[in-house]
């Protein structure tokens, strides 16, 4: 980087900079000791918009930092958390590459609200897209500071210097060199990054773009990795909480005298929450069983069958999210017009680690270790629930055992904090599996109605799309259609009061799974109506070059040969866009006509995510999406009667197993010069549609409702 | 019904006073602070709590602790010997056969017991052997590959 590319060097004394910062930040910087600290704001406009959308005030000082210590080790402090998606590796890779240090010398401190800058939460496949660029810029800034120091030290102009693995060399005399650690020794430098730095060109990357193994793998295979439930504090108590039998149930009477029969058990009550505490988790469980409670359940008005009519009945007025042309003209131009309704049931997040938290109050400071996707959200929630000053609440996020959108809401942390306050001792709340199902914020049940037409030459001429309750993400089509309209009813994942009988929320690629199932099923129906091969039909109706490219890449990998469906081969296709990433899937299925059972034998996915930071991590996410997506495609459906959740464990709520495993093949359609896009969610959005289309190709029947259980497939077979 | 049980835990002799029904899972997690053994469902459906009892993979959330009297228990913490990862652990690392890592200890110990009975399993054998272990992140395909690699590297000799 040329000297002119970066701003004038102003070396602040740590102390003087600290005066203008909030107390916790000042303390933090003092704690950091010597070294170089780069403070920076994540200022990408779309990132900022996403944060504002959540009603959060943005900190006005800075919201991220990295530090290079006197030992030369680099630490990145981020409010993001690691729940399996792999950013503990990919963010470190970006940092190491830009700073030109070995990956091994980077440490990640994640999700600690005292040490890390504010962050809204880890979701929406945003970490790499929006946190990545400023992180790289900060690393470039740090490198610039170091090069400047080296120029002075080596008495060589910066332009004559080069950096390799944390050592700065004089280009013409390599024996003239100095390491980062040597340069930093005894110094305290804080820099605030005010504008984008000139970044390394993708062609200069040595770490980014090269497959890397997970950095947390050894801890995780040896049992050393700590999750929230694995932490122990002296004198801690385990809590079990009295739960209603159904959402909306009212407590009529309660008798807790039986708890006395369990030695060491005590009752703790905070308004409506009644809990038992014990030093032994099993005895806490037994003590809970001694509580006699009578509940009044509200009348159950809906179940998993009647919910769709209910939702259509209570749906608010629609909002048009996109339109073009004239629908009446589109209908006139169509040779065939087809109208269909698609249904999608409630789906659980079901991470193997249930919501867990440990809370401790000591010296006026409340510390919570929580399995959460939103440590700063937990901090605010707990502070307001307990009337605790926010600056005295610290949330620490250990490894999170899966989230998928379900750990954005973290009621267990508030429960643990309230109970710790009541008990005057540290308290752990770990939801049981039944509690996890009961309090999950399910992917909402939803309805999609599509009316679409195709001309005699196979051009899509009409597209009238209405989605109820799934949400907007993925609702807009990307085909070249002259007359079209997309309307969302009851958009947002939570629905208005009276719509869902329990909580709903974002689920891995929220809304997009439902929308892609409906859109791509309907595109296949139009292809069949036009008498065309479904891949050819899509290519004919697309102008989007990126989509065409991923479709062709998938077709090549799969070995797709044109045939009109149903061809009897059991081949399916679907494509979509999520988090800026394009995906195209092809699958092969076998349908058992006697049982209705569907086995997916092959699953091919081509993905264009721009520059892929860690191709290994990206591939793993694609495989995970495909495997997890088979669950909502084929089996996952919450059973309920009004507010009563009938699924209490994995015996009735089926998630994918080893025997479901198809042969998975993935292709990264790389564009190293394009901005990195999301990777944790896109490859899951097509799973409903690709399987539905393959079932049609195999058996000539179509299933219009997710999940496509053996019962529904049999019904369709007639 | 106070009872003293004696057993080997990760190679070390241990004694434990038991005065009530206790499940092995909670004994391991609380009394011994071996938290690599996870609670996932509490009813034996998910396999996150799997440990080895006399080299057999068992669901510790369903096994009364009294039943380990005189037996040998191995948890995930006891698999690496002399600071060296077991071949299965190495293969899980090498194949990136995990994401959140919560089901991983149960997967590895189930695979261990499978390889003990069947040192050269086919892909189908592995799938059948792990069918009752749940992973939500979708690491299945790599878990199968990791077990195949471990089996090859161990050549039938199940060191531990």
Angle (CA) A467 A470 A473, round 5° = 85
| Residue range B87-154 in CATH 1.10.150.120 | yes
The DSSP 8-state label assigned to residue B82 in this structure reads T
Name the fold adopted by B3-78: Ubiquitin-like (UB roll) (3.10.20)
Helix (H, G, I), strand (E, B) or coil at A655: coil
Instruction: Say how many C-beta atoms besides its own lie within 10 A of residue A273's C-beta.
Output: 16
Distance of CA A363 to the CA centre of its chain: 35
Q: Are residues A40 and A189 in the same domain?
A: yes
> Where is the domain boundary, A430, A456, A482?
A430
With respect to residue A218, please indicate whether it lies within any of the assigned structural domains: no
Q: Are residues A422 and A388 in the same domain?
A: yes
Q: Which among B102, B105, B150 is the top mutation candidate for probing chain A, defined by the most A β-carbons within 10 Å of its own β-carbon? A: B102
Given an 8 Å threshold on Cβ–Cβ distance, is A620 in contact with B99? yes
Q: How close does chain B come to A663, measured CA to CA in Å?
A: 8
**What's the confidence (pLDDT) of residue A52?**
43
Q: Are residues A178 and A320 in the same domain?
A: no
With respect to residue A219, please indicate whether it lies within any of the assigned structural domains: no
The DSSP 8-state label assigned to residue A368 in this structure reads E
**What's the confidence (pLDDT) of residue A210?**
82
With respect to residue A302, please indicate whether it lies within any of the assigned structural domains: no
Q: Are residues A359 and A342 in the same domain?
A: no
pLDDT interval class at A199 (50, 70, 90): low
pLDDT at A42 over 70: no
Q: Which of B39, B104, B144 has the CB atom closest to A221's CB atom?
A: B104
CB A200 within 8 Å of CB A93? no
State mean pLDDT over A356-381.
Answer: 96
User: Which tens digit of pLDDT belongs to each residue from A548-567?
Assistant: 999 999 999 999 999 999 99
Instruction: Say how many C-beta atoms besides its own lie within 10 A of residue A312's C-beta.
Output: 15
pLDDT at B77 over 70: yes
> Where is the domain boundary, A430, A452, A467?
A430
Q: Which residue has the higher pLDDT, A20 or A97?
A: A97
State how many domains chain A has.
3
Q: How close does chain B come to A600, measured CA to CA in Å?
A: 14
Query: What ipTM was assigned to the predicted interfaces of this complex?
Result: 0.97
Q: Are residues A373 and A468 in the same domain?
A: no
pLDDT interval class at A33 (50, 70, 90): low
State whether residue A79 sits within 8 Å of chain B by CB.
Answer: no
Q: How close does chain A come to B13, measured CA to CA in Å?
A: 21
With respect to residue A379, please indicate whether it lies within any of the assigned structural domains: yes
Question: How much is the mean pLDDT over chain A?
Answer: 90
What element of type H or E holds A12?
none
Q: Are residues A543 and A657 in the same domain?
A: yes
Residue recorded with tokens 């037996």: B71
CATH no. for residue A240? 3.30.365.10
User: Which tens digit of pLDDT belongs to each residue from A652-662?
Assistant: 999 999 999 99
How many CA atoms are closer than 13 Å to the CA of A412, on its beta-carbon side? 32
Of residues A683, A667, A677, the one with CA closest to residue A574? A683
CA separation, residue B57 to residues A225, B62, B113 (Å): 21, 12, 6
Torsion angles phi and psi, residue A690, rounded to 5: -65, -35
Helix (H, G, I), strand (E, B) or coil at B45: coil
Chain B, window 41-100: residues with a beta carbon less than 8 angstroms from a chain A beta carbon: 41-43, 45-46, 48, 75-77, 79-80, 85, 89, 92-94, 96, 98-100
Range name among A42-56, A145-159, B18-32 with the lowest pLDDT average: A42-56
Extract long-range pairs of A491-495: CB within 8 Å, 24+ residues apart: A491/A319, A491/A467, A493/A443, A493/A444, A494/A444, A495/A444, A495/A469
Helix (H, G, I), strand (E, B) or coil at A586: strand
Structural domain spans, chain B: 3-78, 87-154
**What's the confidence (pLDDT) of residue A28?**
52
Instruction: Say how many C-beta atoms besides its own lie within 10 A of residue A458's C-beta.
Output: 17
pTM recorded for the entire structure: 0.92
Q: How close does chain A come to B50, measured CA to CA in Å?
A: 12
CB A400 within 8 Å of CB A110? no
Q: Are residues A191 and A290 in the same domain?
A: no
Instruction: Say how many C-beta atoms besides its own lie within 10 A of residue A389's C-beta.
Output: 11
B84 burial (CB, 10 Å; 0-12 / 13-18 / 19+) is exposed
| Residue in chain B lying closest to A238 (CA) | B30
Q: Are residues A241 and A122 in the same domain?
A: no
CB A636 within 8 Å of CB A654? yes
Q: Are residues A505 and A587 in the same domain?
A: yes
Chain A, window 314-343: residues with a beta carbon less than 8 angstroms from a chain B beta carbon: none
Q: Are residues A281 and A319 in the same domain?
A: no
**What's the confidence (pLDDT) of residue A247?**
97
Torsion angles phi and psi, residue A336, rounded to 5: -125, 135
Q: Are residues A125 and A237 in the same domain?
A: no
User: Which of chain B's residues have a Cβ under 8 Å away from the Cβ of A433?
Assistant: 40-43
> Where is the domain boundary, A378, A401, A430?
A430
Q: Are residues A459 and A595 in the same domain?
A: yes
Q: Which domain holds residue A524?
A: 307-347+442-717
């Amino acid at each position: 980087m040329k000297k002119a590319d970066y701003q004038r060097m102003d070396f602040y004394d740590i102390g003087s900079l600290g005066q203008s910062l909030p107390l916790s930040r000042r303390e933090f910087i003092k704690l950091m000791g010597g070294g170089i600290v780069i403070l920076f704001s994540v200022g990408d406009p779309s990132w900022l918009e996403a944060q504002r959308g959540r009603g959060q005030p943005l900190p006005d000082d800075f919201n991220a930092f990295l530090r290079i210590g006197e030992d030369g080790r680099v630490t990145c402090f981020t409010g993001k958390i690691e729940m399996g998606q792999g950013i503990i590796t990919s963010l470190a890779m970006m940092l190491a590459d830009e700073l030109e240090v070995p990956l091994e010398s980077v440490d990640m401190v994640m999700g600690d609200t005292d040490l890390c800058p504010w962050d809204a939460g880890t979701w929406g496949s945003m970490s790499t897209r929006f946190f990545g660029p400023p992180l790289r810029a900060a690393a470039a800034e740090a490198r610039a500071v170091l090069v400047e120091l080296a120029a002075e030290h080596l008495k060589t102009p910066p332009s004559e210097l080069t950096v390799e693995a944390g050592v700065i060399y004089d280009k013409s005399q390599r024996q003239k060199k100095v390491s980062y650690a040597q340069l930093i020794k005894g110094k305290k430098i804080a820099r605030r990054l005010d504008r984008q730095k000139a970044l390394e060109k993708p062609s200069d990357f040595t770490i980014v773009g090269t497959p890397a193994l997970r950095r947390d793998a050894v801890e995780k295979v040896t049992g050393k990795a700590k999750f929230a439930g694995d932490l122990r504090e002296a004198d801690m108590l385990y809590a079990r909480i009295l739960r209603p039998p159904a959402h909306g149930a009212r407590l009529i009477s309660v008798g807790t005298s039986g708890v006395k029969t369990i030695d060491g058990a005590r009752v703790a009550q905070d308004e409506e929450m009644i809990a038992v505490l014990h030093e032994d988790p099993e005895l806490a469980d037994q003590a809970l069983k001694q509580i006699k409670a009578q509940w009044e359940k509200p009348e159950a008005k809906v179940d998993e069958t009647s919910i769709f009519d209910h939702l259509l009945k209570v749906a608010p007025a629609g909002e048009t999210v996109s339109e073009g042309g004239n629908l009446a003209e589109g209908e006139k131009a169509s040779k065939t017009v087809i109208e269909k309704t698609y249904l999608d049931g409630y789906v659980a997040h079901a991470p193997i680690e249930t919501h867990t938290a440990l809370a401790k109050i000591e010296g006026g400071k409340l510390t919570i270790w929580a399995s959460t996707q939103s440590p700063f959200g937990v901090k605010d929630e707990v502070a307001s629930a307990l009337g605790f000053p926010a600056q005295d609440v610290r949330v620490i996020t250990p490894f999170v055992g899966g989230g998928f959108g379900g750990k954005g809401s973290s009621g267990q942390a508030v429960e643990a904090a309230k109970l710790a306050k009541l008990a005057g001792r540290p308290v752990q709340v770990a939801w049981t599996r039944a509690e996890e199902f009961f309090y999950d914020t399910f992917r909402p049940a939803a309805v999609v109605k599509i009316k679409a037409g195709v001309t005699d030459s196979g051009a899509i001429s009409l597209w009238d799309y209405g989605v109820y309750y799934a949400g907007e993400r993925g609702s807009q089509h990307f085909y070249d259609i002259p007359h079209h309209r997309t309307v969302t009813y009851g958009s947002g994942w939570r629905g208005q009061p009276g719509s869902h009988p329990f909580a709903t929320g974002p689920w891995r690629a929220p809304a997009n799974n439902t929308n892609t199932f409906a859109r791509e099923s309907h595109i296949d129906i139009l292809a069949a109506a036009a008498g065309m091969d479904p891949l050819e039909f899509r290519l004919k109706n697309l102008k989007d070059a990126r989509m065409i490219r991923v479709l062709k890449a998938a077709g090549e990998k799969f070995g797709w040969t044109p045939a009109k469906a149903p061809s009897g081969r059991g081949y399916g296709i679907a494509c979509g866009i999520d988090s800026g990433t394009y995906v195209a899937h092809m699958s092969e299925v076998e349908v058992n006509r006697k049982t209705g059972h569907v086995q997916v034998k092959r699953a091919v996915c081509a993905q264009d995510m721009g520059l892929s930071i860690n191709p290994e991590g990206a591939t793993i996410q694609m495989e995970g999406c495909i495997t997890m997506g088979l669950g909502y495609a084929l089996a996952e459906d919450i059973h309920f009667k009004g507010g009563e959740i009938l699924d209490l464990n994995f015996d009735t709520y089926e998630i994918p197993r080893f025997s479901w495993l198809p042969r998975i093949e993935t292709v990264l359609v790389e564009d190293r010069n394009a901005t990195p896009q999301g990777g944790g969610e896109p490859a899951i959005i097509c799973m409903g549609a690709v399987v539905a289309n393959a079932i049609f190709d195999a058996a000539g029947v179509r299933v219009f409702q997710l999940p496509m259980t053996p019962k529904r497939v049999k019904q369709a077979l007639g | 019904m106070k009872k003293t049980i004696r057993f080997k835990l990760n190679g070390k002799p241990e004694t434990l006073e038991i005065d009530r029904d206790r499940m092995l899972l909670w004994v391991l997690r609380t009394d011994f602070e071996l938290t690599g053994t996870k609670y996932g469902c509490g009813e034996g459906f998910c396999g996150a709590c799997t440990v080895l009892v006399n080299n057999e993979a068992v669901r510790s959330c369903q096994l009364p602790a009294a039943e380990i009297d005189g037996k040998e228990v191995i948890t995930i913490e006891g698999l690496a010997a002399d600071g060296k990862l077991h071949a299965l652990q190495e293969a899980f690392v090498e194949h990136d056969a995990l994401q959140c890592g919560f089901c991983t200890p149960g997967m590895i110990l189930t695979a261990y017991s499978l390889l003990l009975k069947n040192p050269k399993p086919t892909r189908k054998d592995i799938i059948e052997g792990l069918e009752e272990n749940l992973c939500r992140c979708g690491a299945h395909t790599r878990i199968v590959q990791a077990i195949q690699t471990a089996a090859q590297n161990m050549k039938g000799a199940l060191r531990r």
